[in-house]
Amino acid sequence: MTSLAPDLAGSGTPPDGPAVPGGPADAAEPLESVETAELLGHAPRERRRPALSPSRANDFMQCPLLFRFRVIDKLPEPPSSAAARGTLVHSVLERLYDAPLGERTLAAAQAMLPGEWERLQEAEPRYAELFAGGAGADGGVQAWLDGAGNLLGTYFTLEDPNRLEPAEREMFVETQLEDGPLLRGIVDRLDVAPTGAMRVVDYKTGKSPRPQYQGSALFQMRFYGLVLWRERGEIPKMLQLVYLGDGQVLRAEPQEADLLAVEEQVRTLWSTITQAARTGQWTPRRTPLCGWCAHQAVCPQFGGTPPEIPEGAVELALGIAPEAVAS
């Protein structure tokens, strides 16, 4: 396991500059968005004020034009089997804790997979496209579900859910920074010790990032730490990323200086987003992740032309009015 700080068990209880995405796994398994949370009933669906989530913050740092396509244009993207499997495993791990202590077994978790997959397809019909058509479609689904079962097996080697009683699961969080953006996100699991110490846990179905790419993962977790600190008045004791792809756990014990640094980073990022929204300059940035981008056909880096932004879309998505263009 990778550890940047002692586990909460050690205390008797359960930035480094711009974040950089970690490689193909980040493209295949994006951070859970508030949109996905709405799909699963983890977040309210009513019209919300514009806000910044760690997923969208990472989008902008990866490529401002990608941020525009996802947040303002809301261009459709084909479903990804890896991302869908991540959503499925998250859903099973959430519902597993509905079972009484002693009944949270690997067999019980794996038995939930077919039913949860059906539920996800009802909530998002596009998922059905992943295995549509062909004589091997059913076999493909079973192999895919078996892969999800293997990820659950890895989870049980890392934690014993019968010894845990989460305070919150798939928790919708948000906080308004003074003179800054509204921050919003979804916390996979929040553990609270009898002493009140908080542990923020996030599941990843991909592999752990190489050391030079850990900044993106730590940014996400410190983002959540900042939101909880501002909302609850207490800094989480532990931030923990559980990577089911290779059985690694990345832990960090945040200090006030860490969260203040993330807050400053978020403010700077929001200022840059605001400038782009006002000027319309959403500059594309070519990175190794471009190979997994669904929008190459409309990206100037690949000879494409971005679509015209619908009137009022920028202000609707970000609460920022573009500057008038002189005629």
DSSP string, 280-320: T-------GGGGG-TTGGG-GGGT--PPPPPTTHHHHHHS-
Place of tokens 């987003």: 273
Under 8 Å between Cβ of 317 and 50:
yes
d(CA 137, CA 129): 10
13, HSE (Cβ side, Cα atoms, 13 Å): 18
Strand-pair category, 248-252 with 198-204: unpaired
One-letter amino acid of 322: P
- Roughly how many angstroms between the first and final C-alpha of the chain, as a whole number? 60
pLDDT in tens, the chain (327 residues): 333 333 333 333 333 333 333 344 444 443 444 455 555 555 555 557 899 999 999 999 999 999 999 999 999 999 889 999 999 999 999 999 999 999 999 999 999 999 999 999 999 988 988 887 654 445 689 999 999 999 999 999 999 999 999 999 999 999 999 999 999 999 999 999 999 999 999 999 999 998 888 888 889 999 999 999 999 999 999 999 999 999 999 999 999 999 999 999 999 999 999 999 999 999 999 999 999 999 999 999 999 999 999 999 999 999 999 997 654
Place of tokens 């499925």: 88
One-letter amino acid of 134: G
Angle between helices 64-71 and 256-279 in degrees, nearest 10: 80
Under 8 Å between Cβ of 287 and 58:
no
| H helices, E strands: number in the chain | 11, 6
